[in-house]
Chains A and B, each alone.
Chain A
Amino acid sequence: METVRLAAQAMGTRFEAVLVGDDAGFLRAAAEEALELIEDEHARLSRFERDSVVSRVNRHASSGWVGVDGDFDSLLSLCDELVRATGGAFDPTVTSEAGACWEEVQRDSGRVRFLREGVCLDFGAVAKGWALDLARETLLEAGVEMALLHGGTSSVLALGAPPGEEGWRIALGSEGGASCLLKGAALGVSAPDGEAGGEGHVLVPGSGAAASEVSLAAVVCESAAWADAWSTALVVLGERLEPCNGMETAFLLSGEALDCSVGWRGDYAGAFRLP
């Protein structure tokens, strides 16, 4: 068995890919294709890149309709679902001027506009997962069966499991602490202070204040985009969390305590483990 590891800088973080299989050349080509796709999504979705699609929309959508391609439209549809599912705890307009919300983003067959000035889109809480989901599709199409991809350790995607293992074991927080066993699924991790331990980077929609009710939220489900958005929403919601259909497993960590939300358990029950 061969193992190939590659990395790329995108979305303000380091994406890494670990692929396992028989042919190192094939695995490398597959990893490159997956990471290039992630770089392409960065170029399209980063609001810090002047020539990205999202920057274009943010510049012009307050003045009228802006045409977008089908993939961007699909991301907006996904955000629509996520905003509804999380009751607005996930909201890609969170960095807009105070008072703005997703309801002020209007869509119509390949076009988007904002209902007023000051609204802007920021896909920071979903873009890494969205890109990982696209990368998974590419890897599966190529015929890759065993792989682990992550973006900045907060968005993780597993294809299959390493040879002879139940799944890919991911440490949560400090080494030797809680972990997650991931097989053919995605993990999203969110913390109010980020991995660097600085000021809060998850904002509460509406108030714009930094969220701080939990120290870390982690979600396992099929889609990396859903895991990403939901982990952010859980940090925002904290203990006010209500079980929700469509989510297989959720998990909150307050301090050193592990708290699996029983109501959310499904296909991935038991993914989170204590030492």
Chain B
Amino acid sequence: MLSDRPGREVPKDYREVIAYLIDSQGWTYQKPRGGGYPQLRPADPVHPPIKVPKTPSSQRTFSNWLADIRRKGGHWPPARR
């Protein structure tokens, strides 16, 4: 399945994480259809897609979102080199 690229529909700090997950970990992203939320699909299809906030949110929301990505097998931050 081809992935959309994240754009201005999501806040910048979210965009950076999404682009990394698409480019290096096989995750896919789907822009919102209609009035819904964008979705980030884990590489492992056993995990349900994670919705992405559309407006700048608190640090706590970002933290909760990152934790959900890590829980579903996503690797962030990028590994040390």
State yes or no: do A and B come from one complex: no
Contact surface of B with A, Cβ cutoff 8 Å? none
Contact surface of A with B, Cβ cutoff 8 Å? none
